Amino acid sequence: MDFKQIVSHCKEYGFIFQSSEIYDGLAATYDYGPNGVELKNNIKQYWWKSMVQMHDNIVGLDAAILMHPKTWKASGHVDAFNDPLIDNKDSNKRYRADVLIEDYIAKIEAKNKKDVDKARKKFDDFDEKMFRETNGRIKERQAKIDAAAKRLADAMTTENMDDLKAQIEEYEIACPVSGSKTWTEVRQFNLMFSTQLGNIAGDEGKLYLRPETAQGIFVNFLNVQKSTRQKLPFGIAQIGKAFRNEIVARQFIFRMKEFEQMEMQFFIQPGTEMKWFEYWKEARMKWHQAIGSPAEKLKFHDHDNLAHYANAATDIEFEFPFGFKELEGIHSRTDFDLKSHEELSGKKLQYFDPEKNENYVPYVLETSIGCDRMFLSQISNSLVEETVPDADGKDSTRIVMKLHPAIAPVKCAILPLLKNKEELTKVAKQVFDKLKLSFNCQYDDKDAIGRRYRRQDAIGTPYCITIDFDTLEDQSVTVRDRDTLNQIRLNIDELHTFIYAKTDMSSLF
């Protein structure tokens, strides 16, 4: 399904609403509806279980969103957490200069993809790699893409705002709203939201909403290590809100001003970071595939230009409906953060290594994934429109969300065949009352059974349980499988074991 259809499906079926919609919304902020919050909680649970509960050397934390302002000086966010912005003089619209250039590169890439798809249809034994390496037009465009990507990366690392402006002019990039090419200079714009302490005026009382959860982990490093007696290597994991004053357009929950991160800082001996970098790359990739994200929709993208505190960094990219984009970051952050906090706070943040009999500042390997991006990856990967036989055996189309059962918002729907037969609804309610103790279930008796199936398909419910007249005779019910449409008869007493085996998260580990 295309991106527009995904967005409207999310609204229609109670997954995601525009924030403050009755006031025409607030850009790049969204609310999670009744089905959305269930799916999001399940994603968080999947992450928490696999990162914290499945590792005896990783522990959890829930730090405050507001932190001492010096935190953000030490972390580098006050001085360097900037986006390069440019305004179009005719539309008065503001854009990220780097994103305008990335979009320009994506357009060239799209042309190449179109040519590749055309050729694929023409030739039976099509070899994409060879085609890309030998086709003149594609090679020429690829050279353009590589040169533009390198020049963009260089300008971003050296913070060369003049060159970003020069690129926009050279590529003749026009404002998507006005079509005009009259631009202002490019300026750096800090992404942190600030707020004010009530009892202190001026800059002294200036606070920031955290732009990443990681700093709450760094400043608590010793508290956690001492209270849990963890030995290196060990990790601290946290799920929580982060805030960035992003300038964005039409990216739905991919880039938001208020979002949620699931981050883990793994504290290690200096010198072992490349071993752990490789370990976490593999572990995180497996985590994505275990929940059903296809291998071909995931790839690593190593950073060409490393941040000053990192000595290795890669992104796990996912193929969203608008192309491959960052879903998760894996960064070797050295001892930069702990050392900066030591310097600015004057407090030691060191580990006593009993084997080496010495104190040192550990190195840190970070895994950081946006919960909302994970949500979008799961929705966009699983939502499909397909043709299936209806009750009369005729072809009909359905929209189905083929989420992994472990993260589906509703695990099973309990449906009495007919609404007005009290003997059926009574048993259905008994089944519902029993199953709801263990699973998120829905009871639905409105409309014909076929329409009720479609409603459950659209929100990804893996099993529909129908109570019919045979149930009254032999206590058996029909269980319909969302994906195969197969129907089996089970005894009511067998339902709990069946649903548990099919939907519990333990099958993922």
How far apart CA 470 and CA 485 sit, in angstroms, is 20
CB of 36 to ligand GAP, least distance (A): 15
- The stretch near ligand GAP (CB under 6 A) out of 153-161, 193-201, 297-305, 366-374 is 366-374
CB of 307 to ligand GAP, least distance (A): 10
Distances (CA, A) of 152 to 101, 299, 331: 8, 21, 21
**Least Å distance between CB 217 and ligand GAP?**
9
Distance separating alpha carbons of residues 267 and 54, to the nearest angstrom: 17
Site pattern 444..483 for ligand GAP (x: CB under 6 A): ----------------------------------------
Site for ligand GAP in 252-311 (CB under 6 A): 255-256, 259, 261, 263
Nearer to ligand GAP, 314 or 466 (CB): 314
Q: Site for ligand GAP (CB under 6 A): which residue of 186, 369, 408, 495? A: 369
Q: What are phi and psi of 109, to 5 degrees?
A: -60, -40
Residue 502, Ramachandran bin (φ over 0: left; ψ between -120 and 50: alpha; else beta): alpha
Q: Tell me whether residue 325 or residue 482 sits nearer to ligand GAP (CB atom).
A: 325
Element (H, E) at 475: none
DSSP, res 447 = S
Residues 305-364 contacting ligand GAP, CB under 6 A: 326-329
Neighbours of 460 (CB within 10 A): 26
Q: Which stretch binds ligand GAP (CB under 6 A): 29-37, 68-76, 179-187, 368-376?
A: 368-376
Find, among 327, 342, 410, 420, the residue nearest to 375 by Cα. 327
Nearer to ligand GAP, 10 or 412 (CB): 10
- Smallest gap from Cβ 343 to ligand GAP, in A, equals 20
Which residue, 164 or 365, has its beta carbon nearer to ligand GAP? Answer: 365
Interaction pattern, residues 373-412, with ligand GAP; x per rule: CB under 6 A:
x---------------------------------------
**Token output for 228:** 């849990």
Which DSSP string do the residues of 175-198 spell out, in sequence order? -TTT----B---EEEE---EEE-T
Joined tokens for residue 296: 């071909």
| Residues in 196-215 at the binding interface with ligand GAP, rule: CB under 6 A | 212, 214
Q: Which of 276, 249, 283 is nearest to 54 (CA)?
A: 283
Q: Which stretch binds ligand GAP (CB under 6 A): 160-168, 290-298, 365-373, 443-451?
A: 365-373
Order of strands across the sheet that contains 441-443: 441-443, 412-416, 463-467, 476-481, 487-491
DSSP H or E segment with residue 352: strand 351-353
Q: In the complex, what is the shortest distance from the CB of residue 404 to ligand GAP, in angstroms, rounded to a whole number?
A: 19
With respect to ligand GAP, which residue has the nearer C-beta, 327 or 400?
327
Q: Which DSSP string do the residues of 374-402 spell out, in sequence order? A: HHHHHHHHHEEEEEEE-TTS-EEEEEEE-
Query: Minimal distance in Å, beta carbon 332 to ligand GAP?
Result: 12
Q: Which of residues 236-255 bind ligand GAP (CB under 6 A)?
A: 244, 246, 255
Q: How many residues bind ligand GAP (CB under 6 A)?
A: 19
Nearer to ligand GAP, 370 or 409 (CB): 370
Q: Which residue has the CB atom at the shortest distance from ligand GAP?
A: 370
| Residue span binding ligand GAP (CB under 6 A) among the ranges 4-12, 150-158, 223-231, 367-375 | 367-375
Sign of CA dihedral 411, 373, 293, 453: positive
Task: Map residue 347 onto helix, strand or coil.
Answer: coil
Binding region for ligand GAP (CB under 6 A):
212, 214, 244, 246, 255-256, 259, 261, 263, 326-329, 366, 368-370, 372-373
